[in-house]
Structure 1
Amino acid sequence: MQCRLVVFDLDGTLAKSKCQMDEEMSAILQNLLKTKSVGVMSGGSYSQFQKQFLSSLKCNDNNLLKNLFLFPTCSTAFYRFGNGEWIKVYAEALSEQEKRKIFDAFGKVFMGISFSPENVYGEIVEDRGSQVTFSALGQQAPLELKKEWDPDSKKRLQMKALLEKHIPEFEIRIGGTTSIDVTRKGIDKQYGIKQIEKILGFRKEEIIFVGDALFEGGNDYPVRQYGVRCIEVASPEDTKREVLKIISGQF
């Protein structure tokens, strides 16, 4: 079945971790928006989407923006463009009690593995409203340090296994370069795809997902589990090549 919607991860897929997209990626996405609808799903907050994605997309064509759908914090929220502005469709906010439980679980895990980084750049555990996110070296850590910390995801897989013992009622996924995302059970990127089907009317067979964390335990993996066609990439440069194939009709 012909692809009508392409959904992307953000960090490591459209842009380097916590960095803006480059001009070439912006131009490629705007070309894609002329023929396909586009979704972006990421562990980042909506404010991070504004800073990292929308500001670098530099798209002033409202007709194109109507084809763009944003799913921050692993699809716990959904924004779409209408009447000249971005409108929140839903947000699955965590309660204060749920957040405390998640923060406490991280504290226990840190003690259990003696986690104490020498240098920290910003918050290590961040409340994103509908998601709590761990960033090993802090939210603003330099990209080169982040790449070195856990390139094979083994450290985070160990932490994930420990977290699951403390808070089994929550969804825990690895994302980004040094991150672990925690949401309510069942609310993940697969949930986002199901909301796309329900709210926007796309069929699963009409969707292609592009991401770098499609491995088991990664925050893109639930999309693969659901049976959506997936393209695994290792960098934004990989993504550019794959999107050009989509634009040329190879998918």
Structure 2
Amino acid sequence: MDEVAVPDWNDADLQAICKHMSILAFDLDNTLARSKRPMSEAMAERIAKLTHLVNIAVVTGGKMALVESQVLAMLANKDVRYEALHVMPTSGARYYRWIDGDWSCIYAHNLTDEQRQRATESLERHAREQGIWEEHPWGDRIEDRGSQITFSALGQQAPSHAKEVWDPGNVKKAKLVASVAPDIPDLTVRSGGFTSVDISLSGVDKAYAVRALAEQTHTSVASIAFVGDRMDPGGNDYPAALAGAMALRVQGPEDTLTLCDELISWCSAIR
């Protein structure tokens, strides 16, 4: 498949995007919020405003509990149109909507016990062989998310500054992915965040997520705008661009906050 050139958000035609988009989707870690941290009050205010202008999706490799703590808890005291929110944890392997005053799971594609065991054993074995099995991690190195197994080299609770400098060229993660993939050919192994490798059912990534979102909402992938910080080939947000979404690259939550202000302005004028 040919590569897709993803523009930085401030180089994109935001007016045209607002005219054509039916859903505005966001990655979570290092896009809406710093890794494993709640999004800011300012970000929560912008997301709340946007729910009154367009459907909003949060698409993340993390589990639902992280979306709840990082996003939904911060929206609890805001003026939110919850019916406009779409939550897709574990890269779209699960999908939640607000129905009758609560979050309902519309679908969940879970790994079997046997698949989980094979994935976990392969990750640990190869991480040890490659010298990236940290002796003193911040939290669990391997997390079973039901529909996804995630290896976090420094631990699930590692601080952002440590994560960002661990593997800036993605060399360590790429080597681990290449070693694990042949052990579990029925599953997909891919680079995740700064220090993570994700394992899920074959074909479940953020390309799958935007296609599933389009199907569930009876719209087209081309009408979905997707905002993420890892939009280079090999990044875990990049598959959304390959699938045909209107992809926008940000460098972090500060960029996203400014982008949201621009989108609120354009959408308010157009709609």
- 1:50-199 equivalence runs, <5 A: 50-59=68-77, 61=79, 64-199=81-216
User: Structure 1 residues 90 and 80, CA, compared in 2 at 3 Å: closer, same or farther?
Assistant: same
1:33 counterpart = 2:60: no
1:14 pairs, out of 32, 55, 71, with 32
What is the CA-CA distance between 1:60 and the residue it aligns to?
A: 5.3
Q: Contact 1:17–1:177 at 8 Å: present in 2 too?
A: no
What is the CA-CA distance between 1:79 and the residue it aligns to?
A: 0.4
Identity among equivalent positions (%) equals 34
Q: Secondary structure of the equivalent of 2:98?
A: strand
Could you list the runs of 4 or more consecutive aligned residues of structure 1 that deviate by over 3 angstroms after TM superposition?
Answer: 59-62
* Alpha-carbon distance between aligned partners in 2 of 1:53 and 1:180, rounded to the nearest angstrom: 23
Q: Contact 1:30–1:59 at 8 Å: present in 2 too?
A: no
Structure-1-length-normalised TM-score = 0.94
Between 1:186-195 and 1:51-60, the stretch displaced more is: 51-60
What is the CA-CA distance between 1:61 and the residue it aligns to?
A: 4.6
What is the CA-CA distance between 1:56 and the residue it aligns to?
A: 1.3
Q: Secondary structure of the equivalent of 1:248?
A: helix
One-letter identity of the residue aligned with 2:150: T
* Alpha-carbon distance between aligned partners in 2 of 1:18 and 1:46, rounded to the nearest angstrom: 12
Structure-2-length-normalised TM-score = 0.87
The CA deviation string for residues 177-231 of structure 1, in whole angstroms up to 9 with x for no partner, is 2111110101111111111121111222211000112222222121111111100
Give RMSD over aligned pairs: 1.7
The CA deviation string for residues 47-103 of structure 1, in whole angstroms up to 9 with x for no partner, is 1111111111235556x0100000001111000001110000001010001101101
* Alpha-carbon distance between aligned partners in 2 of 1:192 and 1:211, rounded to the nearest angstrom: 14
The CA deviation string for residues 116-170 of structure 1, in whole angstroms up to 9 with x for no partner, is 3242111101110000001111111222222221233222122112222322332
Q: Contact 2:26–2:57 at 8 Å: present in 1 too?
A: yes
What is the CA-CA distance between 1:38 and the residue it aligns to?
A: 0.2
Paired position in structure 1 for 2:3: none
One-letter identity of the residue aligned with 1:23: E
What is the CA-CA distance between 1:30 and the residue it aligns to?
A: 0.9
Gaps of 5+ in 2: 1-18
What is the CA-CA distance between 1:112 and the residue it aligns to?
A: 2.7
Q: Contact 2:63–2:89 at 8 Å: present in 1 too?
A: yes
One-letter identity of the residue aligned with 1:13: T
* Alpha-carbon distance between aligned partners in 2 of 1:23 and 1:152, rounded to the nearest angstrom: 32
Between 1:187-196 and 1:122-131, the stretch displaced more is: 187-196
* Alpha-carbon distance between aligned partners in 2 of 1:70 and 1:122, rounded to the nearest angstrom: 25
